[in-house]
Structure 1
Amino acid sequence: MMDSTAERSAGAREAGAGARSEPGDPRALEGEVVRLLHRDAERQALEALRDRLTGMPDGADKVRASETLSMGLTVKDRLEQHQQRERGLMAVIETAQDLTRIVDIDEVLRVIVRRARALLGCDVGYLSVYDPERRDFYVRATDGAFSERFCTIRVGLDTGVCGYVARHRSPYSSSDYAGDGRFNHSRFIDDAMRGENIASILGVPLLSADEVSGVLFVGDRYVRAYTAWEISILSTLGAQACVAIGNARLFEQARDALARAEETNERLSQQTANTRAAAEAHEQLTALVARGGDLSDLCEMLARRLGGRVAVCDEGGREIVAAHAERGVEAPAPEGRWIEDAAYAALGESRRTGRSVTYRKLRTVCAIVGGEGPLGGLVLHTPRPLSEVAARIFERGAMVTGVVLLLKAQRTLSLMSDAPAVLHGLVHEPRGRSERFAQQAEKYGVDIHRPMTLLLVRTGKDGCASLCRQLTDRLGTSSALFDEAGDSLIVLANTLRMEPVRAALQACLRRHRETFVGVVGDAVGHADGLPKSFERAQCCLDLLDALGRRGELFDESRLALYVPLFNRADAAAIEGFFTATLGKLYAGPATHDTRRTILAGTLLAYLDCGYNAAEAARSLSLHINTLRQRLEAIHALLADWREAGRALEIHVALRLWRLRDPQRFAALDTQAVKEREPFDKHAAPGR
């Protein structure tokens, strides 16, 4: 290209030299035109001959020379048009080659913009691509722009030249961008265009079927009109850019599909490996059980395989067996160590979902479920989170543990097969027929010829079955007789052995405080007294239900006074008794009258102390004058409380009220110390 330019310059110099040497020869000028065209000289070299023609004398030779020069200029224009079209075709061909050679879509678009700008000789070129999610166009490739703001332009479908081209799907050109009123202007876009000093602009749509995927632009910083050929060649480059964008999208889709396929294949391979590993672990666990392995063996195998500490816990949270990956089988943790709300919540979720549940990041629990309900939980502590395959192995371990626990329960049940019949016979058989159960009861550690104690716990049907299993784990089969009776659990033990039995039962009931209530009967000297003891215990439970008490084991002696008086009474009847007996002194459950409750507690202490004011004041940590002030206030509310017949009735009502609402009365001492009562603020210390 540099050689061609040099030749043209040389031709121009020769033409000037010829003009100077032969200023009056028209035939020489005609020859010079041919020589300049042959050498592809610049147009200015031909234009220089016009000055030479002007100095020639008029005549036929001058006319012929003028026609020759005009034809030469026309030929020169045609040659330049052919060259321009050739460059355009070469740009199209090179762009087509780039579509097959360059994989990077952004690089292809930058090359297209650069060629469009160079081919049309423009100052700026850029390409905007449609964003279907935001429903606007954004600049993706630029060439010749020096403003960063220009590259951040986003144009809606109803704004700017871009929106106009997209809506009409046809090329658009303007020689006066700022003053053109054919499209909607935007201040942000206009500021960006002014930042580039763009005066003229040409844009063509990138059409894919009936959709506009983008707009290709060229612009100039001076007033310029764009020819039809320039619009055509830019449209061709725009079509190639559209193909590039479509190919890129197809390539991205294919790449994404391939990545998804590879990911799916990898996931399936991993799942297959995990399933195989879990199946192998399950086979090992099953083989261990088949060889006679117990819970300790299971825990040890799981602990070593999972790399942590594994413990089997019963339904109450007590660890039965534990093992560590490095230390092997170890002593169970002290009772209550893992009993926490988070653990029980996770255990409940595991029962619902049938999967293991992680709580506190590195602790995992899996419910152990048998044929009749929950049997406990398998608890795992690991130094790192469980993988999917480890979780599967842990869950299979819980399943096998459930089988072992069921087998253990079945063996225990076979040993205790006659326990329900023995207990039922002792509790329900008429007097004089208990001796026939003596030998069977002794097998369970109960001597019917020694004092015995009957314990009755009322809870739900499911709760009774759970309590029986837990008591069996804690007490074995040689400490007491126990069995379900409807919604209650009956426990019978010799009185001297009742304390450990009671402690074990309370440990089992720790998580059921809102659902159970129990009665520990008075000691019975002989088995013939058990039926009556059972009846009294049931009456005590009925009274406690009417009072709304839950979460405690009551001694029968605490309730003996009230059972004969309120046998078969419901909550409404007892509430009516309180209202009728205590009158204005009574503050029901719905009221929060602290003053009346304090007065009631004061009167109860006074009656409990046998009308001894000094002793009652000491029991309440009150000054004697304060007590007297309160008694006067009580008299104002309940005038007849000192009458002999009424005093006994009121005393019973107050004690029953305290039995129903122990929390309200338990707070009286603290309240008295804090307030020192408003009733005696005017009392004289020496009265």
Structure 2
Amino acid sequence: MTELASVVRLLSEGAPLDDATIRAALQADPEAADEFIELTRRVTGLRARGAELRALTSSMRDLLSTADAELLLQRIVDRAHDLIEVDVAYLSVYSPEHDELYVRAVTGTTSPRFLEMVVPAGVGVASLAVRTQHPQWVEDYLELESVPHDDVIDEIVREEQLRSLLGAPLVVNGTVLGVLFAASREPHVFRPEEISLLAAFASQAALVLHQAQLLKEATDATATAAERQQQVEWAASVHVELTRLVAYGHGADEVVGVLADALGRAVTFVDEQGAVISGGPTVPNLDPEIRAAIALGAESGRSAIIAHGDYELVAPVIAAPARPGALLVARSDVPVTEMERRTIERSAIAAALTLLRRNAMLEAEDRVRGELAVELIESRTTRPGAVRRAAARGFAVDAPWVVAAIPCRGDERRRILGRLHHRSDWLAAPAPGGVTALVSAGSRSPDAVADQLRAEGGFDVGLIVATDANDLESAAAAARSLWKAAQLAQGLGIVSGTMDAALLAPYALLFDGDATRLAAFVEQTLQPVLDWDIRRDAALFDTLATLFDERWSLTAVARSQHTHLNTIKQRVARLKTLLGDDLDAPEARFRLELAVRIERARRAINQP
């Protein structure tokens, strides 16, 4: 028993006992030696399991104290490396959508490409572990032929000089999260206790990792809900403010200002022509993509995202389907959110309401000013009262005015009137042949006023016949004779340019505005001379007009035209041949001079 007591004492002190030592101590009783050896092995195994359990428990505490997902993956790998005592440990995360594994954390590696490694579906030990959901191991991976290989992976494994691999899947409720690997650079036969230890640790790590994912999802959901609630409250506050603005009659400037402040970026409100209504110092450059977005938005009622350029979003402002405007939202470093996009679309509705109200007020004002213009122009009896109403509305009735006749067709007349009515300091009325405009001139000439009328009226404006007057009443009174001059001009073939009515006013009285008679008179009287000039590229008409100016003094005509006297004599002879007695008889000469003056007036008109 002395030998047995000695063995028990050594065992209790933790001294290493091999089989030979035990058999030598108990050589007198071989059966007892065998039993004691078995007992020793069990005790040693229990001690190892205890150490492993303590290591697993410590690892679990370490993992549970880690909140960051990326750091958690690295902690799992570091713990596995310490538990199994291998050269390399790494963790591949599994993507069920692509059926691939992505190396996300490593320890002990030297190759910079290891963290870039992607294991395709069905390749290597990792895919086998995923498919079976059980640990898989190999003594020498590069010699393994039972699973498919990938050239890139094999190249990285060679760079790292790895030979033996042990992979334990991270599984929770039948779902594979990834595979935890322990690897050695020397061929190694993994013992059952190593396999079970890594598998147990992988199971614990999977639970912790799953818990961390659930926590992150819950946290993200809470943050998303809070952010969503904040966005809803933000959108509601903007909507309330826009509603207040519209209800209390505020205009587009206030609506655009509120939206720009809420978004923290510039917003520009433009009309269908691209002109700025509010929010921008200059007219923006509306490229074809933006114009197409405005047109499409007028049909769908939805905003559009612009991929490139100064503006990120275009929201249609539909105050009238035929004339859609838009809110242009400037591009920023942070894209427009869906909630912001809906808020911008609601703001576009508020802007449309302000535009409708503005248009209604303008249309009412246009009607008032249009009726006032009609009273001024068409009726002599109502004119004094109309002048008084114009003065009450702020028009400078006693200052210089310009009255202009703009001949045009019916459809053009509506467009021109619509454009001129936007000018609150002008008066415009329809006329049988087009539009009559009354413009407070100040110090401007009729030509300057006509240029402004043409710019405001657009491409529909061709000919403008204008004259000035000392006051509004005189300008309105001149409108009837002005239109007679305009009719004469059209009869003479004048369809564009600017014409001073004074050029044709005397002839308008003689012919009572009958342009057909006037044109026929000029043609019958001067046609031989005009045809001669066209055929011979001559200047007989100019000589004839100068003869009347110089009272038929041939010397004065030669001096005026810088031409030799003999040449003038030859031209006069030619004129007598073409015109006959019209050069000598007083009545005929009067008619001839009248025709020359009319033709000269026609030629003097400034045509583009």
Residue 190 of structure 1 is matched in structure 2 by: 154
2:216 is paired with a residue of what secondary structure? helix
**Structure 1 residue 530: Cα displacement:** 6.0
**Alignment of 1:103 onto 2:28:** no
> Which residue among 190, 199, 208 is the counterpart of 1:226?
190
1:186-585 mapped onto 2 (5 Å cutoff): 186-282=150-246, 285-286=249-250, 342=286, 349=294, 352=298, 399-400=353-354, 403=357, 406-407=360-361, 409-414=363-368, 416-417=370-371, 437-440=379-382, 454-458=405-409, 460=411, 464-474=413-423, 476=425, 482-483=429-430, 489-491=434-436, 499=447, 502-510=450-458, 513=459, 516=460, 518-520=462-464
**Alignment of 1:151 onto 2:98:** no
**Alignment of 1:611 onto 2:536:** yes
The one-letter amino acid of 2:407's match is: L
> Which residue among 73, 82, 85 is the counterpart of 2:37?
73
2:146 is paired with a residue of what secondary structure? coil
Residue 399 of structure 2 is matched in structure 1 by: none
2:462 is paired with a residue of what secondary structure? strand
The one-letter amino acid of 2:15's match is: A
1:198 is paired with a residue of what secondary structure? coil
**2-structure distance, mates of 1:192, 1:243:** 30
Contact between 1:317 and 1:338, CA under 8 Å: does it hold in 2?
A: no
Question: Percent same amino acid among aligned pairs?
Answer: 21
Contact between 1:285 and 1:397, CA under 8 Å: does it hold in 2?
A: no
Moved more, 528-537 or 101-110: 528-537
Contact between 1:347 and 1:366, CA under 8 Å: does it hold in 2?
A: no
**2-structure distance, mates of 1:237, 1:507:** 84
| Residues 74-115 of structure 1, C-alpha deviations (whole Å, 9 max, x = no match) | 222111111222233334444454554432334444444444
Aligned CA distance change for structure 1 residues 395 and 215 (closer, same or farther; 3 Å): closer
> Which residue among 116, 122, 126 is the counterpart of 2:86?
122
**Alignment of 1:82 onto 2:34:** no
* Structure 1: gaps (5+ residues): 1-26, 54-60, 287-294, 325-336, 427-436, 446-450, 545-550, 566-604, 616-643, 645-665, 667-687
**Alignment of 1:41 onto 2:5:** no
**2-structure distance, mates of 1:38, 1:372:** 98
The one-letter amino acid of 1:439's match is: T
Aligned residues: 477
| Residues 313-338 of structure 1, C-alpha deviations (whole Å, 9 max, x = no match) | 99999999x999xxxxxxxxxxxx96
**Structure 1 residue 186: Cα displacement:** 2.9
Contact between 1:136 and 1:154, CA under 8 Å: does it hold in 2?
A: yes
Contact between 1:456 and 1:519, CA under 8 Å: does it hold in 2?
A: yes
| Residues 318-374 of structure 1, C-alpha deviations (whole Å, 9 max, x = no match) | 999x999xxxxxxxxxxxx96676499879949946999999969x99999877976
**1-structure distance, mates of 2:348, 2:174:** 58
Contact between 1:281 and 1:393, CA under 8 Å: does it hold in 2?
A: no
**Structure 1 residue 261: Cα displacement:** 1.0
Contact between 1:177 and 1:200, CA under 8 Å: does it hold in 2?
A: yes
The one-letter amino acid of 2:380's match is: A
Aligned CA distance change for structure 1 residues 501 and 42 (closer, same or farther; 3 Å): same
Aligned CA distance change for structure 1 residues 521 and 182 (closer, same or farther; 3 Å): same
Residue 289 of structure 1 is matched in structure 2 by: none
| Residues 196-229 of structure 1, C-alpha deviations (whole Å, 9 max, x = no match) | 4433222222233444321122223333323444
The one-letter amino acid of 2:361's match is: L
**2-structure distance, mates of 1:164, 1:317:** 64
1:213 is paired with a residue of what secondary structure? strand
Aligned CA distance change for structure 1 residues 564 and 222 (closer, same or farther; 3 Å): same
1:438 is paired with a residue of what secondary structure? coil
Contact between 1:199 and 1:219, CA under 8 Å: does it hold in 2?
A: yes
Aligned CA distance change for structure 1 residues 222 and 228 (closer, same or farther; 3 Å): same
**Structure 1 residue 251: Cα displacement:** 2.0
Aligned CA distance change for structure 1 residues 260 and 534 (closer, same or farther; 3 Å): farther
1:178 is paired with a residue of what secondary structure? helix
1:263 is paired with a residue of what secondary structure? helix
**Structure 1 residue 180: Cα displacement:** 1.7
RMSD of the TM alignment (CA)?
6.1
2:52 is paired with a residue of what secondary structure? helix
Aligned CA distance change for structure 1 residues 410 and 347 (closer, same or farther; 3 Å): farther
Aligned CA distance change for structure 1 residues 469 and 231 (closer, same or farther; 3 Å): same
| Residues 542-582 of structure 1, C-alpha deviations (whole Å, 9 max, x = no match) | xx8xxxxxx97799999x89x999xxxxxxxxxxxxxxxxx
**1-structure distance, mates of 2:152, 2:315:** 61
1:439 is paired with a residue of what secondary structure? coil
Aligned CA distance change for structure 1 residues 285 and 164 (closer, same or farther; 3 Å): same
Contact between 2:77 and 2:91, CA under 8 Å: does it hold in 1?
A: yes
**Structure 1 residue 311: Cα displacement:** 12
1:43 is paired with a residue of what secondary structure? coil
TM-score, L = length of structure 2: 0.59
Aligned CA distance change for structure 1 residues 137 and 415 (closer, same or farther; 3 Å): closer
**2-structure distance, mates of 1:249, 1:312:** 47
TM-score, L = length of structure 1: 0.53
Residue 660 of structure 1 is matched in structure 2 by: none
**Structure 1 residue 42: Cα displacement:** 0.9
**Structure 1 residue 32: Cα displacement:** 3.0
Aligned CA distance change for structure 1 residues 367 and 69 (closer, same or farther; 3 Å): closer
**Structure 1 residue 174: Cα displacement:** 1.6
**Structure 1 residue 506: Cα displacement:** 0.3
Residue 579 of structure 1 is matched in structure 2 by: none
1:490 is paired with a residue of what secondary structure? strand
* Structure 2: gaps (5+ residues): 388-401, 468-476, 505-514, 521-529, 541-577, 579-607
Residue 23 of structure 1 is matched in structure 2 by: none
| Residues 569-622 of structure 1, C-alpha deviations (whole Å, 9 max, x = no match) | xxxxxxxxxxxxxxxxxxxxxxxxxxxxxxxxxxxx99756615899xxxxxxx
